[in-house]
Each structure stands twice: as structure tokens, then as C-alpha cells.
Amino acid sequence: MKLALITAAAFVTAGAAFAGEIAPKDVVMTEGAVEASLTGVAGNAAEGGKVMANRAQGNCVACHEVSSLKAAFQGNVGPSLDGAGSRWSEAQLRGMLVNPKMTFEGTVMPAFYKVDGYTRPGDGYTGKAATEITPVLTAQQIEDVVAFLAALKE
């Protein structure tokens, strides 16, 4: 009884329209792009920006510069994301977040919505073995980030 309540609450706070959500293993990818929204709920660009700057979530600024994000110490392992919305379609951006290796072969960029194919996956940043692998970002967080990136025009 108690357990069921807690689970229900968790879904609500994750803000996901769970019923309509596409699970990581069910995502349909065509040449690296993902056409369909993962949630059916429009992405919120402002939330996406927060996810990208947050170390425990996207932490995209660890590897990329994004001029419009006020995050200290932006890295340069990957290219600047300024103008990404002019270079890529939303479907391509979504696909890149789900699994960028399908766009950039062998890239060091992590997959943010994938739950299999890992070697020695850990339980978050604890150093312990993962008992169950959850994707790095939730489906709605992916949609939020896509919205943020799509708005980065040249």
C-alpha cells in the first residue's frame, strides 16, 4: 500500500505522461534521427537549459560551449552548440541525444536514452554495480533539451 503510493508519487514528480511515453528500447531510429516525440508533451526550452547545465543530469557544458547558458567552466571536448538548431532538424537532435553513435560513429558523446549495451554499468556515481539501468535523462528531459537546442539559431 505504502509502496504503491510512493511509486505513484515518483511518476507524478517526474512529470511524464507515462502512458504515452516511449521506452528506451522502443525508440524508432532512422539514420540516427528520431521523428516521434518521446512523450507527446511539447518540450520546455527553459527546463532543457537547466538539464544541460546540471552536473548530475545532462552536464552537456562539460564538453560543449553554449553562449546562452550561464554555466561556469564550459568544456571544449565537443564543438560549440551555438546555432545547433540551424544545423540539425529536431528529429536529428532527438536522435543524437538518444544515441549519438548512430550519427557520429565512435563519438565520445554519451547516449542519454539508452539502457543496454554497457560494460560494467554503475549505480549512478556510487561506484557500485547497477542493479537496474535507468537512462541518464528521462523522456521529458530529452524533449526539453531538444526544444532548447532547436531554438539555438545562427
Residue numbers of the site for ligand HEC (CB under 6 A)?
A: 52, 58-60, 62-64, 77-79, 81, 84, 87, 93, 96-97, 104, 107-110, 112, 145, 149
Binding segment for other proteins (CB under 8 A), chosen from 3-11, 15-23, 31-39, 60-68, is: 60-68
CB of 96 to other proteins, least distance (A): 14
Q: Scan for cell 543524437, then name that residue.
A: 96
CB of 109 to ligand HEC, least distance (A): 4
- Classified as helix, coil or strand, 146 is helix
CA distance 117 to 140: 22
- Residue 54 sits in the site that holds other proteins (CB under 8 A): no
Q: Which does 74 bind (CB under 5 to 8 A by kind): other proteins, ligand HEC, none?
A: other proteins
Reference 97, options 88, 108, 85, 109; nearest CA is 109
Q: Which does 122 bind (CB under 5 to 8 A by kind): ligand HEC, other proteins, none?
A: other proteins
Q: What does the block give as the cell for 25?
A: 528500447
CA distance 41 to 50: 18
Sign of the torsion angle spanned by Cα atoms 48, 29, 24, 60 = negative
